[in-house]
Structure 1
Amino acid sequence: MEKPTLLLLHGALGSPETLQPLAKRLAGDFTVKSFAFAGHGGREVDTETFNLPHFAAEVLAFLVEQETAPVHVFGYSMGGYAALLAASQEPKRFASITTLGTKLDWSPESAAAEARLLDPDKMLAKVPAFVEVLRQRHAPADWAAVVRGVASLMAAAGANPPLTATDFAALSVPVQVLMGDGDLTPERGDASRTLAAQLPHGHYAVLPNTPHPIERVDISDLANRVQRFAVAHS
């Protein structure tokens, strides 16, 4: 029997490589696929394509080219939002979506708070080891340009959120919204739970002992949750 497809979508500043541990865990049950969003993983950084609507369009273009049947999707952080935005436009291409650490609510204030952490000069001074990871991950593109691109993306999302509460309420695709307990500022936690409750076929869960970085997530537990939700909606 042919295995169903699972598309893995990385987060901001990430690449498909960051999801390889999860891909390996799920390869026995799914045909696992992935790709790098524009401006990530060595792709050219262009302000015209470095935004959530374009990333959603890339998801749909990938599915049109690669798949004929609805697919299951896991999206980490920004990747989860791109998946939801794509599904709001063409829901029939999605069998299920699981998101982890995805910011569902956007406002100018929340975007500014997130973007404050994305200053290349400050990052060089405070987290040089992480900067080196970014340098290697996005070569030959300039890592600092990627960081500035993400900050610009957040500002645009804050000024004009691509998804509204009405969009969430109209989404027919089964969605599992996962948040780590170490990722739940009061604002993010309350808003995520409220918007997830709007989903007609939504499930919300908080993962224990789980911060935001995908590298520090219990991949075995995450894989089990993704697998169970996908199987339940196959």
Structure 2
Amino acid sequence: MYYEVSGKGDPLIVLHGAYMNIPTMGAIIPKLAKTHRVYALEFQGHGRTTDIDRPITYPHLADDIAAFMDAVGLKKADVFGYSMGAAAGLQFAIRHPEKVNKLAAASVAYDVEGWQPEFKEFIPQMKVEMFLEMPFAKDYRKLAANPEGFPELVRKLIALEKEPMAWGEQVKALKTPVLIITGDADVSTLEHSVALFRLLGGGGAGDMGKPLSPSRLAVLPATSHTAVITQTELLHAFIEPFLKGITPKGMFEAP
């Protein structure tokens, strides 16, 4: 598995989305590296990590993260994932909770019923040919050890979109604090993000004597799925305080 390390501080693993790589994650990696030791990974078949004879599934991706941590000697780390990387991070927290401190998950779903209706209708129509001339196909060929392997990657990622996903009970059992970040026009519905937040113990009245949930929910305005990762300053403004344990004070709280 290809990875890059930058920055100093507590370890933070960064996980990209489908069809992406480390460079296409944009400015958020160097921004986070100002205060963290960032381990940016490239998943199976993405970027400079070669594909193998195995389906791409969320359990496989989660176990790959665990194997990476063992290989580099990381016992525990914070995790930030976007899209496919966020779902892999969520599955990682489910399968390997002892390895995760906190998880920031941007554009994530925990159940296929949470997708926008338009996206659910599109999934059965997905064909390899639709993706071959997309901009990320050129990015793939620039970095891949096998530049001709893109159609096979697309086949595996289409299969991933059709993979059954219904993690509600597993999410509800999580003890890991999770920051959910979603665009208000994301690929999953706002109702789904709120439901995820409530499964994690969030959504109570914080000024009524009940402690705040360790998990958090942030909604980026005027932001589609692909625009979430371009909102570097907003992402950082939510992720950094979450990882540092900084909570806004209420107006009636003692300073």
Q: Does 1:207 align with 2:215?
A: no
Match of 2:42 in 1: 36
Distance in 2 of aligned mates of 1:136 and 1:214: 23
Q: Specify the SS of the correspondent of 1:210.
A: strand
Flag the structure with larger Rg.
2
Unaligned runs of 5+ in 1: none
Question: Which amino acid is 2:244 matched to?
Answer: V
Identity percentage of aligned residues: 25
For 1:153, the aligned partner's letter is L
Q: 2:237 corresponds to which residue?
A: 224
- The 8 Å contact of residues 211 and 217 in structure 1, kept in 2 or not, is answered as no
Q: 1:184 to 1:118 in 2, by over 3 A?
A: closer
Within a 5 Å distance, the mapping from 1:1-234 to structure 2 comes to 3-46=9-52, 48-106=54-112, 113=121, 115-116=123-124, 118-124=126-132, 128-138=134-144, 140-141=146-147, 142-156=149-163, 158=164, 161=165, 164-183=167-186, 188-200=189-201, 201-213=214-226, 217-232=230-245
- Cα RMSD between the aligned structures? 2.7
**CA contact 1:80–1:102 (8 Å) conserved in 2:** yes
Q: Which has the higher helix share?
A: 1
Cα distance change, pair 108–145 in 1 and its aligned pair in 2 (3 A): farther
Once residues 108 and 181 of structure 1 are traced to their aligned partners in structure 2, the CA distance between those partners, rounded to angstroms, is 14
1:88–1:128 distance in 2 versus 1, CA, 3 Å:
closer
Query: Separation in 2 of the partners of 1:216 and 1:82?
Result: 16
User: What code does the residue aligned with 1:198 have?
Assistant: L
Cα distance change on mapping 1:15 and 1:128 into 2, 3 Å = closer
Report the number of matched residues.
224
Q: CA deviation at 1:215?
A: 7.5
Using the size of structure 2 for normalisation, the TM-score is 0.77
Which one has more relative contact order, counting CA pairs under 8 Å at least 6 apart? 1
- Name the SS of the counterpart of 2:222 in structure 1: coil
Matched letter for residue 181 of structure 1: D
